[in-house]
Amino acid sequence: MVKSGFSLCFFMAIYLVAGMAQSDCVAGRYTTEMFSSVSTTTVQYGKNIGINTSDSLNLMMDIYQPDGDSAEKRPVFIWAHGGSFISGNRSDMAVLCEQYAKMGYVTATIDYHLWPIFGGIPDSSDVVDVVIKSIGDMKGAIRYFKADQEGSNLYKIDSTRIIIGGISAGAIIAMHAGHLDTTDIIPQFIQDAIDNNGGLEGEANFLANSSNVLAVYNMSGALFKSEIIDHEDPSFISYHGTSDDVVPFRTGTAINIITLDGSGVCHEQADLINVTNRLDSVNGGGHTDIYDPNGSFSSNLESFIENANIFIGNQVCPGLISAATTFVPNELVSIFPNPAEDEIMVQLPSTEKKIYVRMFDALGRLINTREYYRADQFRISRPLNGYGIYFLEISTPSSRLAPVVKKVIFK
């Protein structure tokens, strides 16, 4: 969010002149749920050979889009579920898909190769093979969206702003799909698996588009070697428990089969070569307990989600969103009722500062501006524009402190 004392329209004008701005980069989008509902479509993005069988594997994905969105070029978020490469379903990521679609992203959750239950206990070569196949599946999904944009652009996406992410096994897939490339030094046993599965791009489909992405969202994932992260690789953010006994936080054995470098080591490598990254580590956290919204690490999870929204938002809309300290803690600003019919009440902590309040609509247009002096409570009426979603930017004259932004709904 732009800092107080400056016009959002001014910043947008600068970006547009420089050719850097996206028309969808408006206040609140990509960090706040701006849309109340989403629509879902299921498509087949690829077809591949199953594991230990000649049967074909239809690769499906569920695509989520925000209802009522007028943006024509939107970033895409592609998710892969967890399950140790033996279980799980694309529907496991439905909640995240819906949440991020309500923020304005086009989101998708994909099928990928899993080790079949009837295949016996996999050894290390089996695990490498299924991981390489699943990386190719993720890359196929990326190419599917890029090919669609070049054609009918049914999903109204911007193929330069694709983010991939996942949890556990899904994060391992996303990290490798984002960072493993032909310039890396690859051990022969991994190279053999790559060669046997159609190369790094895989065989999910044979679309000619690239599978490059903008950023990676890593929840308890890892790489086979952190050194494959190089200067040209995408930015990434991670959330990982330091006591994870399934996927190591640093270097260790994953799922009791293969050695991997976890998030702690990957971010050290990224820092070393100046790749944009962020790590939210959970001291003492395990593999699953750090995701329990009611558990011991619920505050860590809440903080990570907020940090991730800002981090990813700044990748898709550079410079629009600020993580600077707000002039009062966001959680101490109350708005009620919300939703409201005609009027809302804003409650602030006691303050000696002059207060500026600006209201924007969902398209980022400035609706009105108000000033209050030493006010800790004030009312705001429904704008003449009518009912809908709006954003209040509450700030002070200090440009060193970021404004508080709150979503309000009149209906």
pLDDT at 128 over 70: yes
Q: How many CA atoms lie within 13 A of 219 on its CB side?
A: 23
pLDDT at 6 over 90: no
Strand partners, 259: 253
Q: How many CA atoms lie within 13 A of 369 on its CB side?
A: 10
SS3 194: helix
Is the pLDDT higher at 393 or at 268?
268
pLDDT digits (tens, 9 = 90+) for 207-246: 999 999 999 999 999 999 999 999 999 999 999 999 999 9
Q: What are the tokens at 89?
A: 């379903």
Instruction: Give dist(CA 210, CA 143) in Å, integer.
Output: 6
Strand partners, 8: none
pLDDT digits (tens, 9 = 90+) for 237-250: 999 999 999 999 99
Domains in the chain, start-ordered, CATH in brackets? 30-316 (3.40.50.1820), 330-410 (2.60.40.3080)
Q: What pLDDT does residue 325 have? A: 64
Region of 171 please: left (phi>0), alpha (psi -120 to 50) or beta: alpha
Q: What is the mean pLDDT of the chain?
A: 87
Q: How far is CA 163 from CA 108, 139, 276, 331, in A?
A: 10, 12, 14, 29
pLDDT digits (tens, 9 = 90+) for 139-178: 999 999 999 999 999 999 999 999 999 999 999 999 999 9
Q: What pLDDT does residue 326 have? A: 72
Calculate mean pLDDT across residues 117-128.
78
Q: What pLDDT does residue 56 have? A: 67
CB 165, CB 219: distance < 8 Å: yes
pLDDT at 260 over 70: yes
pLDDT digits (tens, 9 = 90+) for 86-119: 999 999 999 999 999 999 999 999 999 998 876 6
Q: How confident is the model at residue 14 (pLDDT cuts 50, 70, 90)?
A: very low
Is the pLDDT higher at 249 or at 364?
249
pTM: predicted TM-score of the whole model, two decimal places: 0.78
Span of 34-38, 133-137, 329-333 with lowest mean pLDDT: 329-333
pLDDT at 20 over 70: no
pLDDT digits (tens, 9 = 90+) for 372-402: 877 788 999 999 878 888 888 888 765 456 7
pLDDT at 75 over 90: yes
Is the pLDDT higher at 77 or at 28?
77
Calculate mean pLDDT across residues 349-378.
80
Q: What pLDDT does residue 354 have? A: 78
Angle at 2 between CA 332 and CA 402, to 5 degrees: 35
Q: How far is CA 283 from CA 103, 109, 264, 287, in A?
A: 30, 29, 12, 12
Calculate mean pLDDT across residues 190-206.
94
Q: What pLDDT does residue 119 have? A: 67
Strand partners, 66: 38
pLDDT at 280 over 50: yes
pLDDT at 9 over 80: no
Q: What pLDDT does residue 143 have? A: 98
